[in-house]
Amino acid sequence: MEQKLSSVAKTLTSSPIQQLSYLAERRNAVNLAEGFPDFPAPSYLKDAAISAIRSDFNQYRHVQAICDYLAYQLKQMHGLDVDPLTDIVVCCGQSEAFAAAMFAIINHGDEVILFDPSYETYETCIRLAGGVPVYVALDPPYWSLDPNKLAKSFTARTKAIVLNSPHNPTGKVFTKDELEIIAGACRTWDILVVTDEVYEHITFDGERHTSVATFPGMQKRTIITSSLSKSFSVTGWRIGWAICPAYFASAIRNIHVKITDSAPAPFQEAALTALRSSPEYFDALRQAYKPKRDYLAQLLTKVGFQVSVMPKGSFFLFMELPRTCTLSDVDFVEELIKQAGVVAVPGCVFFHTNSSKLEDLSLTAISYHRRYIRFAFCKSEETLAAASQKLTELIDGSGGLKLF
């Protein structure tokens, strides 16, 4: 009966990141692979969720006050005016918001531009909606956007661009010049942008997140998706949202209701407490993550990894393998698990061989797809110290790892 599967379903496989996390559990390895915190969520949020459950907020529910607070935040952060009654949809995490956005705007054969490397979920949602992903490679080691590559990616079938900033896996924060290039292309080609802004509050070294929706003519053509998950260390609560013009929001809301009906009711109530957090909470969040970033970067540099630029956002380090390492990223991660008991993600999970135009890809460009490893630093001090100890034990006489 396997032949009854849809053509898209046949192409889907288990997430390599989740598989590595399962392997970490079986081997009792230190998990620096998956992007979720292993330290407690804020106590006041947990108390709010418990209170909501005890108050019997356990049925299908839409908490309009979430939309009210999001509209207020958007005005405060970005100066954007949105109608909380019509322009915001609460979903089961950013993932559902993004998927529903794709289902709302994509017709069969529509092309959607993504920047490579790219988080794996985007392509799946585009394909499930009947769309065609078109990849534009960001240029290492700074992962900068080449305007010429972007210009070559447009066709008469281009419907939208996916923009993730701060960026997973690289930690890049798109510059205002790059955002203007993207905005200009969208205006010229009359296309949409669907953003993933889940790391909006996790930025470093003076950087601050800017939404492309703030650029002239862009609010009407931008669908913003985000969530509580990363900013409040509650990735399992599944509270996210889409913010966009009412005609898009109405379609996304209808799709959301048909698929999941509502986001988890008690966690919607707790989300109100989260959204009422003061600006000092987000300052403290950045201040807490920065030393974790610096600690892990220093450790990895010490054992030979190459870092050309520190991540300005998110909670990932995308590190190039040591120059003396002849292993591929996959082989390196396998040996890292076996010999050091530490799990990370091979960079090839995020790269795509059809980036931009195939003829534009040199052998050098293709080779770097196997030269990067993603490490998550959204971990407790104890977890990072355990990783340090395990890696330090494998340092050879020359100061490098004994894996290669």
Residues 345, 392: Cα–Cα separation, whole Å: 19
Count how many Cα atoms sit within 13 Å of the Cα of residue 28 in the half-sphere of its side chain.
0
Average pLDDT for residues 327-343, to the nearest whole number? Answer: 90
Q: Strands of 192-196's sheet, edge to edge?
A: 88-91, 240-243, 222-227, 192-196, 158-164, 111-116, 132-137
Residue keyed to tokens 């240029």: 139
Extract the tokens encoding 208: 């601050």
Q: Provide the β-strand partners of residue 89.
A: 242
pLDDT confidence bin for 314, thresholds 50/70/90: very high
Residues 6+ apart with CB under 8 A from 307: 297, 300, 301, 317, 319, 320
pLDDT confidence bin for 224, thresholds 50/70/90: very high
| Mean pLDDT score across all residues of the chain | 93
Residues 390, 331: Cα–Cα separation, whole Å: 18
User: What pLDDT sits at residue 358?
Assistant: 46
Is the per-residue pLDDT at 18 higher than 80?
A: no
Average pLDDT for residues 298-311, to the nearest whole number? Answer: 91
User: What pLDDT sits at residue 3?
Assistant: 82
Q: Provide the β-strand partners of residue 133.
A: 112
pLDDT confidence bin for 404, thresholds 50/70/90: low
User: What pLDDT sits at residue 357?
Assistant: 47
Q: What percent of the chain has pLDDT over 90?
A: 79
Residues 188, 377: Cα–Cα separation, whole Å: 39
User: What pLDDT sits at residue 365?
Assistant: 55
pLDDT confidence bin for 323, thresholds 50/70/90: confident
Neighbouring CB atoms inside 10 A of 367's CB total 10
DSSP string over 332-375:
HHHHIIIII-EE-EEGGGT--TTBS-GGG--HHHHHGGGSEEEE
Of the candidates 141, 139, 201, the one whose C-alpha atom is nearest the C-alpha of residue 166 is 201
Is the per-residue pLDDT at 280 higher than 70?
A: yes
Read off φ and ψ for residue 129, nearest 5 degrees: -80, -5
User: What pLDDT sits at residue 359?
Assistant: 47
Extract the tokens encoding 9: 């379903």
With b for 16 or more beta-carbon neighbours within 10 A and e for fewer, the 83-96 pattern comes to ebeebbbbbbbbbb
Is the per-residue pLDDT at 360 higher than 60?
A: no
Is the per-residue pLDDT at 223 higher than 50?
A: yes
Q: What is the dihedral of CA 113, 115, 370, 333, to 10 degrees?
A: -110
Distances (CA, A) of 227 to 263, 271, 379: 12, 10, 19
Average pLDDT for residues 193-200, to the nearest whole number? Answer: 98
User: What pLDDT sits at residue 26?
Assistant: 80
Q: Provide the β-strand partners of residue 137.
A: 116
User: What pLDDT sits at residue 355?
Assistant: 44
DSSP string over 33-60:
SSSS--SPPPHHHHHHHHHHHHTT--SS
